[in-house]
Structure 1
Amino acid sequence: MSNAMRDAIDGAYIANSIRMLRSHHRGSFLVVEGESDKRFFDWFIDKGACKIVVAYGRDKALDALQRLQTPPLGGVLFVLDADFDILEGRSPPSVSVVFTDTHDLETMLLASPAFEKLLLQVAKEEKVDKFREQHGDLRACLLRCGKELGYLLWLSRKDGLNLKFEGLTLGDFINEKTLLLNPAEMVKAVANHSQRLDLKGEAFLARLTAMHDDAHDPWHVCCGHHLTEILALALRKAWATNDRGKLDGSMVERMLMLAYDEGLFATTQIYASIRTWEALHPPFIVLR
């Protein structure tokens, strides 16, 4: 699907599509934010009982949720990224909305043993061991970088700055060998990338620094797409084997999904929440 087609889809379109699909599908609908979320859940759903609908954005999904209330349509479950809602004290807006355990599905994958499985298959063991000796726990290094980007994204959302993160060259502000991030260079790179040259001053950097709080769970601050891009950078450079030059964040996400099995999924809160929803909304089934 082209970007123009995705942009044309809105909450009304999604809600109307589900109402029309109900005429020949009496089972449940699982609404997810994006194509990568669909690929994740395709493996876990009961495909005879549940159909996945992609909303192409969190706001569009929430709009569709509201539109499906009047008149109410049963059997529709929304699985959405927790995003920054948990940090801001917001719960899911409906009993038919389930949040991810962490910021998003990608952070859930990285927090799981799928991360270690990926490293065993893709990274060079000697380089990983040396890096760990010099810089400490690998996840901690990823989270350290990801938190800086996460706070900047959070500030952008709070202040309506519309900063652009997709397509950033991470090597402009993250050291490829140590994975240490330079906050001032990060702000400069994102401001340039977003054509917001007014955000380069010390005052803006101070506002960003003031957002940091040790009480914030880094798994909720960090955006999964940022972390997989940082991991791809590490796998191309600091932890590289000889054939990883073209590895990017999207490829890393697919590898993590392949390394993530049903047993891991069954231990998560999101799994328990979906099972609870099923129990409260018979006869609708989502998971196999």
Structure 2
Amino acid sequence: MDGLRPVSAARLLNLNRKIPYKVSNIDVGDFFNGFLLDLSEYVLKLTKETAVTAEERRVLEELFVLEAKKEYDPWQFTNGHDFYSALGASLRGDLGARRYAQTWGFEVEMHIRLAFTDADFKETHIFAALKSWEARTRYSVVSKRLH
């Protein structure tokens, strides 16, 4: 998830209205290769419809890197859809030779969700971590059938 931290930073800055760019329509998998994010290409795509200079893009990259270095809980900082898109990109090259249609973020996410029975999922560390997070934040993300 560390490789996604600049994207997570961009999302956070966008959410806090510190940058005016729409980050939600960008597929991170398009900029992820060799387990690394091509931040320059990501920023180029992010600013494509705007009149931003190369220097302003460089400053934006630096802003994302600086924000990414701050201490955030990775379970809350990283967007799950971004994670699955990056994992899909890795399955196309670094982790395997899967076809593109089999590695879209939503496909990877769906298959991981289907890989566990409810009973198996309840035995995982991530289930315990989710339940702990729910208790701390009072948000609910785990299906009621698993309680």
Normalised TM-score (structure 1): 0.39
C-alpha separation in 2, matches of 1:203 and 1:238: 30
Q: How does 1:36-51 map to 2 (within 5 A)?
A: none
Q: How does 1:8-23 map to 2 (within 5 A)?
A: none
Equivalent residue in structure 1 for 2:38, among 182, 191, 194: 182
1:233 matched to 2:89? The reply is yes
User: What amino acid is the match of 1:265?
Assistant: K
Kindly name which structure, 1 or 2, has the bigger radius of gyration based on alpha carbons: 1
C-alpha separation in 2, matches of 1:196 and 1:168: 19
C-alpha separation in 2, matches of 1:199 and 1:218: 32
**1:259, CA displacement in angstroms?**
1.5
User: SS state of the match for residue 86, structure 2?
Assistant: helix
Q: 1:160 to 1:265 in 2, by over 3 A?
A: farther
Alignment partner, residue 134 of structure 1: none
C-alpha separation in 1, matches of 2:116 and 2:69: 31
C-alpha separation in 2, matches of 1:163 and 1:239: 30
Alignment partner, residue 265 of structure 1: 122
Alignment partner, residue 207 of structure 1: 63
Higher helix share: 2
C-alpha separation in 2, matches of 1:206 and 1:160: 13
Query: When the two structures are aligned, how many residues end up with a matched partner?
Result: 130
User: What amino acid is the match of 1:164?
Assistant: V
Q: Identity of paired residues, percent?
A: 16
Normalised TM-score (structure 2): 0.69
Q: 1:213 to 1:250 in 2, by over 3 A?
A: same
Alignment partner, residue 9 of structure 2: 151
Quote the RMSD (CA, aligned, Å).
2.9
**1:240, CA displacement in angstroms?**
2.2
**1:208, CA displacement in angstroms?**
2.2
> Contact (CA 8 Å) 1:168, 1:190: kept in 2 or not?
no
Deviations 1:94-122 (A, max 9, x none): xxxxxxxxxxxxxxxxxxxxxxxxxxxxx
Q: 1:184 to 1:254 in 2, by over 3 A?
A: same
Deviations 1:196-252 (A, max 9, x none): 3437513322322221335222222211101111111111222224x5331211111
Deviations 1:1-59 (A, max 9, x none): xxxxxxxxxxxxxxxxxxxxxxxxxxxxxxxxxxxxxxxxxxxxxxxxxxxxxxxxxxx
Equivalent residue in structure 2 for 1:166, among 16, 25, 35: 25
C-alpha separation in 1, matches of 2:130 and 2:28: 33
1:196 matched to 2:55? The reply is no
Alignment partner, residue 73 of structure 2: 217
> Contact (CA 8 Å) 1:265, 1:271: kept in 2 or not?
no
Q: 1:271 to 1:216 in 2, by over 3 A?
A: closer
Q: 1:199 to 1:225 in 2, by over 3 A?
A: farther
